Amino acid sequence: MTLVGSHQPSADRQLAKLLTAPSVKGLEIPLEGLRQGLAPAQLAPSLAAALGHALQQERRTVALYTSRGERLRGDEAGQLALAEAVAQLQEMVLDPLCSSLGYVISKGGSTSDTLLRRVLGLDRVALRGQVMPGISLVQPAAPLGQAGLPVICVPGNMGTDETLLDLHQLMEPEHSLTPGCPGIQAPS
């Protein structure tokens, strides 16, 4: 699974490239609905159902992303409220599925923080190294419910337009469009 929350222009380009892979299904977290006052609990059931269907019935990798072209706007309190609503929605949707995931690629600092702290409930992680320059692989530091789940953290402004697609191909070599993918060894 890949999560994209960053709104850096490079993140938009990386997501667009990732969504060209036939094995990837994109699911959008609708920021406008949250901004207009819909509670995360109102959006969670349909998003969770679509996510579960894509993962289990379609057997596709899901790219769960916040609306593109959107920027946090308004006063600071409004921005914080929207960020909190997105975090709650991610938590509601991802928490039931975490034990069935093989890995997560997380794009963006707040997105990665929400995943690690709120969804996985981690206080600390073990840094396993870099899978690409500036892109870290972490795992739970102690055996918790999701012990061993590899999480690749990609800073919002990091990478080329192909970075998310390259990481997807690294973690799912059977879906690689280029045999031998970019010369990176899959983490063990």
Per-residue pLDDT of the chain (188 residues; tens, 9 = 90+): 999 988 889 999 999 999 999 999 999 998 888 888 899 999 999 999 999 899 888 889 999 999 987 555 667 887 788 888 999 999 999 988 888 888 999 999 888 998 998 888 888 888 889 999 999 999 887 654 445 789 999 999 999 999 999 999 999 877 555 444 333 343 44
Strand partners, 26: 63
* Residue 127 CB partners (closer than 8 Å, separation 6+): 136, 137, 138
Closest by CA to 51, choosing from 10, 19, 84, 92, is: 92
In this predicted model, what pLDDT tens digit does every residue of 130-178 receive, in sequence order? Answer: 999 999 999 887 654 445 789 999 999 999 999 999 999 999 877 555 4
Closest to 29 in 3D by CA, of 61, 62, 76: 62
pLDDT for 162 equals: 97
- CA-CA distance, 66 to 14, in Å (whole number)? 13
CA dist., res. 85 & res. 188, Å (int): 35
pLDDT at residue 25, as a whole number: 96
What is the number of helices (H) and of strands (E) in the chain? 6, 7
Model pLDDT, residue 185:
40
Q: Which CATH class is domain 2-175?
A: alpha beta
